[in-house]
Every structure is written in C-alpha cells, then in structure tokens.
C-alpha cells in the first residue's frame, strides 16, 4: 500500500504540471512501474492532446507489458478527440491498473474500470482519492452540473476593509500576495467583475506573472445596463482571451451594439428583475465550456455571488494592516443576513503565509475541517 501511495503521489505531481491548461478536460498524470522501477510517465498537457496513460505507455515502450499503471483518474473508455485509454492499456499488455478515483463523467463512471477487469487486468481504485478529487475539483463540478467551479477572491485589511474612505486600495496586500493573485488568474478559465469595478479602476484583468508567464483568463463583466465604456482596457488591450459583457434586456440596444463592435461578446442573460441573474449566467458560461470562474470584484458583486449561492470556494488574503473608518468599504455588500445561523461558513479551511500576508482558503460546502498554518 505504501508503494501504491508513493507512485500515485508521483502521478498526482505529474498531473499538476498542466494546471490551468486542460480545460474542459481534467488534469491527469500516469506512471508505469515494473519490478518496482518507474519505466514510463506522462500527463495530459491540454484538451485535444494525448491522454496521460497514452503518453506514459509510449514512454515505457515494451516495458509496459506486465507492468502496473498508476493513474490519477479512471481511464476513459469512449471516443472523443482521442481514442479510449482502456484500449491502449489492453494493447500494451499491462498487468495491473491503480486509479485514484472513478471518473465522474457519465460517459465513463466506472465503465473503464469494468472493461479492464473483464479483460483480466487487476484493478484497484481509491489510492489517494481525496487528493485526486481536490486536484480535479473544477472538473468534478463542471462535468456533474454543467456549471463552472466558482472561486471568490478577496483581499482585506485585518479590520475587513478593501480600501480607505477615499477609495485608495493600492496596495492593501504585499507583492507576494499580488503575485499569488495572478497565479490564480492563470489557473481559472475566466475572471469575473462587476461594472462598477470597470468604471472605478479600469482594470486590465490579465495575468502578469514573472518573465511574462501565464495565460489570460476570459474576462466577464456583469453589467446589467451595458455601461461599460468601449474604451475600457478589458476591451482594447492585446490579449488571447476575449471579453464577455453579461447584461439584461434592460440594456439599450445601441449600447449592446457598440460593445459588440468593440469586440466584446454580449450575453443577454434571461431572468426577472433589473440585475443579471448570476445562476443563469453560470449556466450560460458552462454551455461555453468555461469550467471555472474567479470572482475578483468589489463588495457588491461579492455579496450578490454569495447570496445567489454560486460560490464554491473562497480565497481570502488578509493583510496585517488596520485601515479603520466608517466610510471605508468592506468586501461584501448587500442586505446581508439577519441571523448568524445564516452566515456562509467555510469548510476544509487552510491557512498559508504569502509574504507578509495570510491566504485563507475554504469551501462553502462541508468537506471536513482541517486547519494548518505552515511556518
């Protein structure tokens, strides 16, 4: 069992190499082991390329015959952009397959493991399953619901302020935390803000990591009446990612037309009331194979997202500063709650030092409580 965990950990580390690059597919790593030695390894680099098992088997060559394959997700058994991994494993003549977890995709969902067992391959599933599920939390949410995995990111002072009373917010957190924020942008498919953030700050919403690394997320602006200026940086900058303006029927037709002429994709989100229905917006984004969304807005959009119940995870940067002031804004606006019993509680909470700041991460649904604070 210890050996199985050791090699599965290797497979998980391989899978992480493609973090933020495989959407709408999961991250998968595979290791081929024979006589206790690694003879092949691989990972799924991006959608449309060879799956991890196929890469690892090619790396192993003839040594794959009679070997054990460790893979972080159940091998697929259906034809997509690539062929079934079950066929590749059987053709290679592997003796044993150890999978961290079954594939939640209804097209697979245990069928791949059953095919291998029926062909005489020894199969084991569940090794480091919790780690594998966390690795692919985005894929699991998307493939089972059709909606993206949503992360709310905030940065506040110790007393819960996102700016001073005069609106100054640069910079509450330190350089290391800001770099970590860009790393989050690099991971998720889309970044979402409200139109007030566009009007107040005119942000670029691009990824700026050291040495020019990182991919830009698709930019989503929640703008019920299409107030986004056509000169906004989210529309005029050079970027491989496009911008979506989510609006309503209340938005003037000429404003929608001007935004489309400026290069934006304009989504008219159905729903009642004057504001964009965030639940329906998530459904529309999921239909576009946007599997994950990072919310980086102000208090209004944060409050609306929590009230709508679309947030799956929270990434909260806490800076060792005290701002004070009744007029200094906080990170979550709206009507709020009347009873503490209705507060959004975080589960499986982790704490991480990021430079001089602390990053608190947690989930809005119960997955157990573990709190750690690394030195």
List, as residue ranges, the binding site: 51, 76, 85, 155, 169, 171, 185, 197, 201, 205, 208, 224, 296, 298-304
Q: Which long-range contacts (CB under 8 A, 24 or more apart) does 113-121 make?
A: 113/74, 113/75, 115/77, 115/86, 115/90, 116/75, 116/86, 116/89, 116/90, 119/90, 121/89, 121/90, 121/94, 121/95, 121/96, 121/97
CA distance 245 to 229: 11
d(CA 16, CA 33): 20
d(CA 232, CA 98): 51
As a whole number of angstroms, the distance between CA 345 and CA 365 comes to 8
> Are the C-beta atoms of 260 and 228 separated by less than 8 Å?
no
Within 10 Å of residue 86's Cβ, how many Cβ atoms?
Answer: 24
Contacts with 13 (C-beta within 8 Å, 6 or more apart), sequence order = 29
Binding region for NADP(+): 155, 169, 171, 197, 201, 224, 298-304
The closest alpha carbon to 297, from 280, 283, 276, belongs to 276
3-state helix, strand, coil in the chain (%, to 5): 30, 20, 45
Least Cα distance to 266 among 274, 275, 279, 281 occurs for 281
Residue 308, CA distances (Å) to 278, 279, 280, 297, 302 in order? 7, 7, 10, 15, 10
Distance CA 136, CA 26 (A): 6
Phi/psi of residue 175, each to 5°?
-60, -40
How many CA atoms within 13 Å lie on the side-chain side of 232? 29
State the binding site for substrate. 185, 205, 208, 296
Catalytic site positions:
53
Q: Pull the structure tokens for residue 367.
A: 């997955």
């Amino acid at each position: 069992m210890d050996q199985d965990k050791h090699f599965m950990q290797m497979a998980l580390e391989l899978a992480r190499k493609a973090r933020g690059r495989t959407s709408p597919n999961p991250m998968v790593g595979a290791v081929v082991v024979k006589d206790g030695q690694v003879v092949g390894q691989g990972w799924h680099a991006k959608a449309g390329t060879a799956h991890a098992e196929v890469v690892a088997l090619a790396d192993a060559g003839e040594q794959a015959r009679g070997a054990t394959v460790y893979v972080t997700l159940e091998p697929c058994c259906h034809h997509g952009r690539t062929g079934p991994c079950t066929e590749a494993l059987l053709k290679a003549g592997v003796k044993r397959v150890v999978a961290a977890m079954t594939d939640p995709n209804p097209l697979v969902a245990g069928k791949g493991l059953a095919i291998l067992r029926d062909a005489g391959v020894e199969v084991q599933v569940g090794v480091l399953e919790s780690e594998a599920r966390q690795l692919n939390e985005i894929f699991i949410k998307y493939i089972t619901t059709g909606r993206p995995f949503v992360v709310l990111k905030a940065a506040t002072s110790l007393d819960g302020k996102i700016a001073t009373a005069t609106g100054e917010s640069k910079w509450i957190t330190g350089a290391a935390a800001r770099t970590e924020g860009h790393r989050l942008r690099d991971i998720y498919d889309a970044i979402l803000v409200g139109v007030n953030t566009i009007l107040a700050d005119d942000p670029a919403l691009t990824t700026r990591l050291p040495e020019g690394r990182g991919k830009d997320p698709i930019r989503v602006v929640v703008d019920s009446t299409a107030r986004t200026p056509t000169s906004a940086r989210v529309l005029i900058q050079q970027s491989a990612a496009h911008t979506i303006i989510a609006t309503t029927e209340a938005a003037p037709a000429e404003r929608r037309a001007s935004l489309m002429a400026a290069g934006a994709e304009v989504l008219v989100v159905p729903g009642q009331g004057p504001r964009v229905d965030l639940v329906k917006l998530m459904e529309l984004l999921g239909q576009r194979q946007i599997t994950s969304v990072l919310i980086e807005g102000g208090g209004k959009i944060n409050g609306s997202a929590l009230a709508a119940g679309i947030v799956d995870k929270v990434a909260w940067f806490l800076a060792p500063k005290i701002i004070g002031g009744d007029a200094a804004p906080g990170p979550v606006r709206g009507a709020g709650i009347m009873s503490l019993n209705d507060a959004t509680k975080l589960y499986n909470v982790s704490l991480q030092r990021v430079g001089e700041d602390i990053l608190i991460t947690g989930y809005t649904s119960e997955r157990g409580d573990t709190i750690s604070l690394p030195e």
